[in-house]
């Protein structure tokens, strides 16, 4: 899986084939094409490989230089843009001309089937319509909040135990498991409990799903993946095994729940579990780097929830009502600032269906990939001003401390236009509940201030090696919170049995392939 361990044969082959294809293409081009103007060439896939360990920063440097540029890949140009006008055009104005196409479909379909993430046209429209309705219901909102609170209590217990025993904790893994547990509970009504490790099958499923996602994303940089798939070797053999394991687990679940839920493995929310957990991990990294911001959030949560001294984790979680969440404007701004600088999907591309001209006057060809770049855009002074690279949640607040939206074509972390993320509101609610419970009860620090924290280059922005933190109980809270751990654990089980049972609002729309 590690491209960097022996990149030479890959680089030489790639370079030779890229040059050959481009010579053929440019020599063979007829005279009418000469009038068309194409964005400047920023580099080739070869340059990307040489800068693989810092790929998003390398591409940010290029975006600062050109705003929109081309990278020469094996069979096509890839156009990378950080220009909000171009992005609005691709994602909204000429939406019909840009989509997943056969290119993304072929990469994603083994894991995600013909779900909403992999298709265009009528198939997409139908799923979008059904899912939009479901995401907008009050019932889903209320039910998911109950689940998030109950899982936040479990998270707080784990963190509290690490604080009491003065142990460090790797929080990225914990967030991945807790968000997957939430999705299972909200969508299927099942306790996966991978976070506490009490359900071995659940944990195995969790690992298989993680590895399958990683290999699926790896296909985008592995030019040999189709051959490996045909021969069933290497990463592709692993992917096949993982998908089988995922299928077995999900179908067993379906059989045991027949009459209550009918569901396929292609559920949209599962793919999102690592996106949400990436975001939470970077948020906690920012909290460790900015202790004053952490304090401000703790204060805001206390005021919004009217939290009493000696509250248990359970009481704390239950005090995070819709009304309290709406009052947490600073927390909302801080999460948004995290997404601006550390977007979970750092770059996302669309397949161009027919020749076109972007608003900046440059052309793209049928078959090109056109990518918008949330990571690079978050660092551009032309978009965010001179302090673009500073972490400053206040930029999102007006003088009354109320959160102000920005154009979705500037903050592109959730995509924009007709295919804007359907789970945005759902994701904010989950992230706010988890972080409010954790920050009001604990203080977070990096376990090793000297150790560099970097992303691992993949399609989602994970922290390489995870985030190792040390938590301590907040002053005055130690006695009350740790004393309440025992009681909270009993209470949280009571929550799951009484409030959660038979109330799964998604159960009636769960059809295979939805
Ligand atoms: C911080 C968390 C999240 C971020 C940053 C995020 C970001 C995104 C992005 C960039 C896309 C476009 C991807 C593409 O081109 O296919 C997307 C699509 C989508 N997201 Fe999210 N997402 C988040 C959480 C969630 C959650 C929790 C759910 C569901 C529970 C969700 C549901 C969806 C769906 C259904 C789509 C597909 C929309 C369509 O193609 O019409 N997202 N999201």
CATH of the domain at 336: 1.10.630.10
**pLDDT score for 376:** 98
pLDDT digits (tens, 9 = 90+) for 417-459: 999 999 999 999 999 999 999 999 999 999 999 899 999 887 7
> Which residues span the domain enclosing 40?
3-510
> Nearest residue CA, atom 20 of ligand 1?
421
Backbone angles phi, psi at 513, to 5 degrees: 85, -5
Supply the pTM of this predicted model. Answer: 0.86
The winner for highest mean pLDDT among 28-32, 51-55, 290-294, 494-498 is 290-294
Q: Give the mean pLDDT of 292-298.
A: 97
Q: 421 labelled as ligand-binding?
A: yes
Specify the number of domains making up the chain. Answer: 1
Which atom of ligand 1 has the smallest separation from the CA of 268?
35
- Helix or strand or coil: residue 58? helix
pLDDT surpassing 60 at residue 493: no
- C-beta 459 within 6 A of ligand 1: no
* Per-residue pLDDT tens digits for 56-68: 999 999 999 999 9
Helix intervals (H) in 72-137: 84-88, 101-112, 121-135
Report yes or no for ipTM above 0.90. Answer: yes
* 146 CA to centre of ligand 1 in angstroms: 22
Span of 140-144, 370-374, 375-379, 397-401 with lowest mean pLDDT: 140-144
Sign of the Cα torsion 90, 92, 98, 102 reads positive
Give the ligand 1 atom nearest the CA of 427.
27
Q: Are 479 and 160 in contact (CB under 8 A)?
A: no
Sign, CA dihedral 229-235-240-246, equals: negative
> Does residue 271's CB lie within 6 angstroms of at least one atom of ligand 1?
no
Give pLDDT tens digits for 303-326.
999 988 888 999 999 999 999 999
Instruction: Report whether residue 276 contacts ligand 1, using a CB cutoff of 6 Å.
Output: yes
Q: Is 180 in the pocket of ligand 1 (CB under 6 A)?
A: no
Tell me: the pLDDT tens digits for 461-475?
999 999 999 999 985
Tracing tokens 């949209």 back to the chain, one arrives at 268
Residue nearest (by alpha carbon) to ligand 1 atom 18: 421
| Ligand 1 pocket mutation, candidates 117, 268, 271, 421, criterion most atoms within 8 A of CB | 421
For residues 379-390, give the mean pLDDT. Answer: 97
Ligand 1: centre distance to CA 424 (Å)? 7
- State the closest ligand 1 atom to the C-alpha of 415, by its place in the atom list counted from 1: 10
Task: Name which of 469, 282, 347, 414 is nearest 81 in CA terms.
Answer: 347
* Pocket perturbation via mutation, ligand 1, pick of 132, 275, 343 by most ligand atoms within 8 A of CB: 275
- Cβ distance 75 to 226 under 8 Å? no
Q: What is the 3-state secondary structure (H, E, C) of 453-492?
A: CCECCCCCCCECCCCEEEEEECCCCHHHHHHHHHHHHHHH
64-73, 111-120, 397-406, 493-502: segment of lowest average pLDDT: 493-502
Tell how far the Cα of 117 is from the centroid of ligand 1, in angstroms.
9
For residue 503, the CA-to-ligand 1 centroid distance in Å is 24
* pLDDT tier at 76, thresholds 50, 70, 90: confident
| pLDDT above 50 for 3 | no
- DSSP line for 253-322: HHHHTTTT----TT-HHHHTHHHHHHHHHHHHHHHHH-HHHHHHHHHHHHHHHTPPTT--HHHHHHT--H
d(C-alpha 310, C-alpha 287), whole Å: 24
């Amino acid at each position: 899986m590690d491209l960097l361990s022996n990149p030479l044969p890959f680089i030489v082959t790639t370079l030779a084939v890229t040059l050959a294809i481009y010579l053929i293409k440019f020599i063979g081009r007829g005279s009418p094409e000469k009038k068309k103007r194409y964005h400047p060439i920023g580099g080739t896939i070869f340059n990307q490989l040489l800068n693989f360990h810092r790929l998003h920063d390398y591409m940010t440097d290029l975006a600062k230089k050109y705003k929109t540029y081309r990278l020469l890949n094996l069979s096509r140009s890839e156009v990378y843009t950080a220009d909000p006008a171009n992005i609005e055009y691709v994602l909204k104005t000429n939406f019909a001309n840009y989509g997943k196409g056969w290119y993304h479909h072929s990469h994603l379909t083994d894991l995600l089937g013909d779900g909403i993430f992999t298709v265009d046209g009528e198939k997409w429209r139908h799923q979008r319509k059904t899912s939009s309705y479901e995401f907008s219901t009050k019932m889903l909102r209320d039910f998911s909040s109950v689940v998030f609170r109950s899982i936040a209590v479990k998270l707080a217990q784990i963190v509290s135990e690490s604080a009491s025993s003065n142990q460090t904790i790797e929080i990225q893994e914990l967030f991945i498991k807790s968000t997957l547990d939430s999705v299972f509970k909200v969508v299927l009504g099942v306790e996966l409990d991978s976070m506490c490790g009490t359900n071995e099958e659940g944990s195995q499923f969790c690992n298989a799903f993680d590895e399958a996602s990683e290999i699926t994303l790896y296909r985008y940089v592995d030019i040999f993946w189709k051959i490996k798939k045909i021969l069933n070797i290497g990463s592709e053999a692993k992917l096949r095994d993982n998908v089988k394991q995922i299928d077995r687990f999900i179908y067993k679940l379906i059989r045991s729940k027949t009459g209550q839920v009918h569901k396929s493995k292609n559920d949209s929310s599962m793919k999102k579990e690592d996106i949400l957990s990436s975001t939470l991990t970077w948020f906690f990294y920012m909290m460790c780097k900015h202790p004053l911001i952490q304090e401000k959030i703790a204060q805001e949560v206390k005021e919004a929830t009217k939290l009493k001294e000696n509250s248990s984790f359970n009481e704390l979680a239950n005090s995070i009502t819709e009304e309290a969440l709406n009052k947490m404007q600073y927390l909302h701004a801080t999460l948004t600032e995290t997404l601006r600088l550390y977007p979970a999907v750092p770059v996302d591309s669309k397949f161009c269906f027919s020749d076109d001209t972007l608003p900046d006057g440059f052309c793209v060809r049928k078959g090109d990939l056109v990518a918008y770049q949330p990571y690079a855009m978050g660092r551009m002074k032309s978009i965010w001003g001179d302090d673009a690279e500073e972490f400053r949640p206040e930029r999102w607040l007006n003088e009354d401390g109320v959160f102000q939206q920005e154009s979705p074509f500037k903050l592109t972390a959730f995509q924009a236009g007709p295919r804007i993320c359907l789970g945005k509101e759902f994701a904010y609610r989950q992230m706010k509940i988890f972080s409010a419970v954790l920050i009001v009860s604990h203080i977070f620090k990096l376990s090793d201030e000297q150790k560099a924290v970097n992303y691992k280059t993949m399609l989602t922005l994970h922290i390489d090696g995870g985030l190792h933190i040390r938590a301590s109980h907040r002053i005055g809270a130690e006695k009350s919170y740790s004393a309440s751990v025992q009681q909270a654990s009993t209470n949280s089980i009571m929550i799951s049995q009484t409030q959660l049972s038979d109330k799964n609002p998604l159960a009636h729309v769960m059809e295979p392939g939805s």
